[in-house]
Amino acid sequence: MIKLIIDNIPVEVPEGTTVLEAAQSVDIPIPHFCWHPALGKAGACRVCAVKMLDGPVKGVQMSCMLPAQDGMVVSTTDDEAMAMRKSVIEWLMINHPHDCPVCDEGGECQLQDFTIAGGHGIRRYDGKKRTYNNQYLGEFIEHEMNRCIQCYRCSRFYQEYAGGADFGAMGRAAIVYFGRQDDGPLQSPFSGNLVDICPTGVFTDKTARFRARYWDYDMAPSVCPHCSLGCNTVPMARYRELLKTTARRNDHVNGWFICDKGRFSNAGVNTPERPRQALVDGKPVSLDEALDALATLLGEFLELHGPDSLAIVGSTRMDLAGNIMAARLREMLGAGTLCLFNDTDRAELTGKAVSLLTTENSASQEDVRSADLVVLVGCDLLDEAPMMALAVRQAWRSGARVYAIAPHPALLPEGEGTQPPLSPGERVAEGRVRGPLPFKFEYIASLADVPLAETKRPVIICGTSRQGLEALKNIQSAFALPFTKGGSGGISSSIETANPPQSPFDKGGLQPEPKLAFILDGPNAFGCAELARQHHGVALSAALADGRIKGIISFEADLHHELPQGIAVLAAADWRPTGLVARAGVVLPTTAWVEQEGIYINNEGRAQRFKKVMNPGLPIKGLTPELHPPRVHGIDAPGGDVAPSARLIALLMQRLGEAVVDEPLSGPWKALKDLDATGAGVIINQREQA
């Protein structure tokens, strides 16, 4: 550890820490533009000046470039350093437009903050400003080059961190241009991060420009629901409309960034097609009336067809509490089949994947970023889990070798195999075709060819596909990973086998045991697999095949195949306009994830809480004067008579005669009750062991 003094405060930091980070560690902010924790230093902006009063280095220095050393005495408030920072800001502002009131970045702009903090308030330069033409960068990002202060964060992120090749820094000296060679949509699936990392307003989210200022937003820590990785986000809403999504730092998971799918898929929450009105046989009713009707209907149905005739369908996109309550509903009824997965394959594969993960061997995105060898097995990262591709790139940049086994057709070079089409909801950018993976890798025939012995931190990333399962079996025999879950009870996924198979890792630690990451299907697929195991869930396709199911009630479920006509959809609870909602006798509109609190368990088994961001209800934008302001008194906003699925199920259970309905996070899930939304999350088997 290194000991130094900053503004009279003794600071201790690990070797390799910069003076700027050392100051941050004791909450002394130093202005910085080019330095970024994920991008490192560039020394380009000169705004982080401090004065070194004593120690190995003297005088005014750039704190982002200077590694902390023993005996340093640093002042951030020294006159000379302050004067330097003030001048630097003045020169950075020389070409900058003085029009914050009409800039969409205003209020969430580092340049504003540091200009004020640096003490530059009055403009002295009255010469001509350097100006640029802006480019069309696609439908998601607006370009305003005049606001640029040449910190190079954007081009460093885009090319170095994310591996994009169509955007960069052109020109030199007083004329540096950050853009594309020609107008056109940015090609990187991580392009939206430019909005977050540019310290000024050069890049703003085009989908929500000039809709609100920073202080107007409803914001809360949340989790991305668009794949199984559970990247941390801050959704921003106003007037019941989800406007933007930004990345939220979680060093174990997504680091500082998110993918474009996670950032630009906000429209579904606001769409007029969304079910917001409870219906019974197509007639609008209140949510309470709908639940009354469903309770009666359910009783009659079970009486008529018997207890085996009902399927209670949950979903991997529904939060944990909703799925727990679906399972409890089945228990209470003593009837019906619990279906949390659509088809048998998916259920089986997810169950197996989850059973293989332990606290020790489950790889987080951070484990992937710091791996020295990565093996890809039957997965299409850019389609199924984009941020995982970015994590692999970071490992590759630090020298990790990357191998692909049992290549997914989409991984094959162009022309070989067929590209599986992206589903329409995932095609986030017009004209954007999925590009190549942002790292180099080698095909390898089998896992036996992977030079694992020479590595220290290997990670295997596996898709939950048939190919993945096949390869898993090979992995199992190659590495003697236990393939079946031993033990039982609780939510433990730890593996206890009576006769542990001979593992090459047991003997003298010749090889490090590889960590595993699975790409699952849905933000709460892990949670559903665990629940399915606890409650003997059956995949819907298997339940239907059996022929006894006559009707279903579904909660936020998407069906891959059309439900046979003979099956009655007694009720569907959802916030998405699915086929099931269209067919349901009773429609129960639910909150979207941003309108409720909840928990998703991500692909590594990390339970993460998300908070309620906004109140549900029809977005005010788009409402005609007849509808807004509302003419009827009520406590809910128009379209706001909705509830989280877990709550709906609890209310239903009350109506069905349950005297006391336990809250979802009880029993084996009790320990998640106090999960902190801003923490790292909790690996569920870790919690069990603690």
- Provide the binding-site residues for other proteins, judged by CB under 8 A: 159, 165-173, 177, 180-181
Going from the C-alpha of 377 to that of each of 360, 450, 459, 501, the distances in angstroms are 20, 12, 11, 23
- The answer to whether 153 contacts ligand SF4 (rule: CB under 6 A) is yes
Residue among 231, 243, 553, 652 that touches ligand SF4 (CB under 6 A) = 231
Residue among 50, 88, 137, 149 that touches ligand SF4 (CB under 6 A) = 149
Report what 248 binds from other proteins, ligand FES, ligand SF4, none; CB cut-off 5-8 Å by kind: none
Stretch that binds ligand FES, among 3-11, 29-37, 288-296, 464-472 (CB under 6 A): 29-37
CA–CA distance, 590 with 680 (Å, rounded to integer): 28
Residue 184 beta carbon to other proteins: minimum distance, rounded to whole angstroms: 11
- Return the number of other C-beta atoms located less than 10 Å from residue 449's C-beta: 12
- Residue 395 and residue 371 in contact, taking contact as beta carbons nearer than 8 Å: yes
Residue 318 beta carbon to ligand SF4: minimum distance, rounded to whole angstroms: 16
CA–CA distance, 18 with 336 (Å, rounded to integer): 61
User: What are the DSSP calls for 162-176, one per residue?
Assistant: T---S-EEEEETTEE
Site for ligand FES in 231-290 (CB under 6 A): none
Close Cβ partners of 384 (under 8 Å, ≥ 6 residues apart): 227, 228, 463, 519, 521
- The answer to whether 567 contacts ligand FES (rule: CB under 6 A) is no
Sheet with 9-13, strands from edge to edge, namely 9-13, 2-6, 73-75, 49-54, 59-62
Of the two residues 378 and 386, which places its CB atom closer to ligand SF4 in the complex?
386
Residue 63 beta carbon to ligand FES: minimum distance, rounded to whole angstroms: 6
Give me the residue whose beta carbon is nearest to ligand SF4. Answer: 262
Residue 172 beta carbon to other proteins: minimum distance, rounded to whole angstroms: 5
- The answer to whether 62 contacts ligand FES (rule: CB under 6 A) is yes
CA–CA distance, 272 with 270 (Å, rounded to integer): 7
Q: Give Cα 60 distance to the centre of its chain.
A: 41
- The answer to whether 229 contacts ligand SF4 (rule: CB under 6 A) is yes
Of the two residues 152 and 403, which places its CB atom closer to ligand SF4 in the complex?
152
- Residue 681 and residue 610 in contact, taking contact as beta carbons nearer than 8 Å: no
- The answer to whether 148 contacts ligand SF4 (rule: CB under 6 A) is yes
CA–CA distance, 362 with 360 (Å, rounded to integer): 6
- The answer to whether 34 contacts ligand FES (rule: CB under 6 A) is yes
Report what 150 binds from ligand FES, other proteins, ligand SF4, none; CB cut-off 5-8 Å by kind: ligand SF4
Residue among 48, 89, 310, 368 that touches ligand FES (CB under 6 A) = 48
Q: Indicate the SS3 state at residue 40.
A: strand
Which has the closest alpha carbon to 621: 269, 283, 349? 269
Of the two residues 156 and 401, which places its CB atom closer to ligand SF4 in the complex?
156
Residue among 387, 400, 447, 656 that touches ligand SF4 (CB under 6 A) = 387
Residue 399 beta carbon to other proteins: minimum distance, rounded to whole angstroms: 15
- The answer to whether 178 contacts ligand SF4 (rule: CB under 6 A) is yes
Report what 231 binds from other proteins, ligand SF4, ligand FES, none; CB cut-off 5-8 Å by kind: ligand SF4
Task: Specify the amino acid at residue 233.
Answer: T
Contact map string, positions 256 to 295, toward ligand SF4, x by CB under 6 A = --xx-xx---------------------------------
Of the two residues 178 and 403, which places its CB atom closer to ligand SF4 in the complex?
178
Which pair of tokens denotes residue 632?
């009827």
Q: Indicate the SS3 state at residue 261.
A: helix
Residue among 40, 43, 71, 487 that touches ligand FES (CB under 6 A) = 43
CA–CA distance, 329 with 310 (Å, rounded to integer): 12
681-594-625 Cα angle (round to 5): 165
Task: For tokens 């047991």, name the residue.
Answer: 506
- Residue 32 and residue 64 in contact, taking contact as beta carbons nearer than 8 Å: yes
Residue 83 beta carbon to ligand SF4: minimum distance, rounded to whole angstroms: 23
Going from the C-alpha of 527 to that of each of 310, 318, 540, 680, the distances in angstroms are 22, 10, 17, 17
Residue 438 beta carbon to other proteins: minimum distance, rounded to whole angstroms: 13
Residue 509 beta carbon to ligand SF4: minimum distance, rounded to whole angstroms: 33
- The answer to whether 198 contacts ligand SF4 (rule: CB under 6 A) is yes
Which pair of tokens denotes residue 174?
């007083």
Of the two residues 164 and 468, which places its CB atom closer to other proteins in the complex?
164
Q: Number of residues interacting with ligand SF4: please give it, by CB under 6 A.
A: 26
Going from the C-alpha of 98 to that of each of 108, 115, 339, the distances in angstroms are 16, 12, 59
Report what 198 binds from ligand SF4, ligand FES, other proteins, none; CB cut-off 5-8 Å by kind: ligand SF4
Bin 450: left if φ > 0, else alpha if -120 < ψ < 50, else beta.
beta
Q: At 313, give phi and psi (nearest 5°).
A: -105, 120
Stretch that binds ligand FES, among 27-35, 129-137, 193-201, 282-290 (CB under 6 A): 27-35
Stretch that binds ligand FES, among 26-34, 107-115, 129-137, 229-237 (CB under 6 A): 26-34
Of the two residues 37 and 171, which places its CB atom closer to ligand FES in the complex?
37
Q: Per DSSP, which regions of 488-612 are E strands?
A: 515-519, 551-555, 568-574, 586-589, 598-601, 606-610
The dihedral sign for the CA sequence 350, 355, 359, 360: negative
- Residue 303 and residue 583 in contact, taking contact as beta carbons nearer than 8 Å: no
Of the two residues 114 and 158, which places its CB atom closer to ligand FES in the complex?
114
Report what 45 binds from other proteins, ligand FES, ligand SF4, none; CB cut-off 5-8 Å by kind: ligand FES
Report what 167 binds from other proteins, ligand FES, ligand SF4, none; CB cut-off 5-8 Å by kind: other proteins
Of the two residues 181 and 446, which places its CB atom closer to other proteins in the complex?
181
Contact map string, positions 308 to 327, toward ligand SF4, x by CB under 6 A = --------------------
- Residue 467 and residue 383 in contact, taking contact as beta carbons nearer than 8 Å: no
Report what 47 binds from other proteins, ligand FES, ligand SF4, none; CB cut-off 5-8 Å by kind: ligand FES
CA–CA distance, 72 with 488 (Å, rounded to integer): 56
User: CA torsion, points 611, 279, 637, 652, in degrees to nearest 10?
Assistant: -50
Report what 258 binds from other proteins, ligand SF4, ligand FES, none; CB cut-off 5-8 Å by kind: ligand SF4
Helix (H), strand (E) at residue 92: helix 79-93
Residue among 4, 6, 39, 47 that touches ligand FES (CB under 6 A) = 47
- The answer to whether 389 contacts ligand SF4 (rule: CB under 6 A) is no
Residue among 22, 68, 202, 373 that touches ligand SF4 (CB under 6 A) = 202
**Interacting residues with ligand FES (CB under 6 A):** 32-35, 43-48, 62, 64
**Interacting residues with ligand SF4 (CB under 6 A):** 148-154, 178, 198-200, 202, 224, 226-227, 229-231, 254, 258-259, 261-262, 385-387
